[in-house]
Chains A and B, each alone.
Chain A
């Protein structure tokens, strides 16, 4: 099984600042990596797929990078609505998710 490890578990950032979230795979997943945002009581929302392609309707302040085993989600200027849980998911070797990063207001 490909284990996905996200860091940090919690990230405290002020509105308007940049947030950088990391995701590491236990083996190469190529570019088969997605990022999701989840708010309380809601289903996850796809942000990024193919490691760097924004899904439809996702603001350009969200960007994804990386390949192989190291990936990053960057939110360039945090808005109030961006404070949420973020999950990475690999879909190269079946499907596994990271444990999540809680992005909270500093």
Chain B
């Protein structure tokens, strides 16, 4: 069965960077677009970025341009998201998500979420 298993919770100081991983199993990792979505405490869902199956094309939410980087390692079926220059506004649960079908845009599979807390 498809599984997305994310790395554990992180606590970071303002100005630092965080890198979260998402290990995929149960399907051919290199066949699907992957996304990152976050959810601030008590808030809604915010799309952060997408990476294509081969890993050579990425797009990001405009408000995070320059701070977010999404990568993938096909050899280990792992997706990564790095966010730099953290502020308290980046405190959120971060989710990786896989599309239901390549290019479909809706997410049938989600990681369990990684809580990132930014605090001094």
Contact = CB atoms under 8 A, between A and B. Distances in A.
B112 A89 contact: no
Chain A contact residues, majority secondary structure: loop
B6 to A, nearest CB: 10
Nearest to A97: B45
Nearest to A1: B62
A83 interface: no
B44 A99 contact: yes
A97 B59 contact: no
A55 B113 contact: no
Interface residues of B, number: 20
Given A55-B100, A95-B35, A46 B108 contact: yes
Contact of A87 (B45, B62, B100, B110): B45
Interface in B34-50: 35, 44-47, 50
A89 B45 CA distance: 9
B47 A46 contact: no
Contact of B104 (A44, A49, A97, A98): A49
Nearest to B112: A43
9 contacts: A44-B45, A44-B107, A89-B45, A94-B59, A94-B61, A96-B47, A97-B44, A97-B45, A100-B45
Given A34-B106, A95-B50, A95-B105, 11 more contacts: A1-B62, A34-B105, A34-B107, A36-B45, A44-B45, A49-B100, A49-B108, A55-B100, A56-B108, A97-B46, A99-B44
Interface of A: 1, 32, 34, 36, 43-46, 49-50, 55-56, 87, 89, 91-92, 94-100
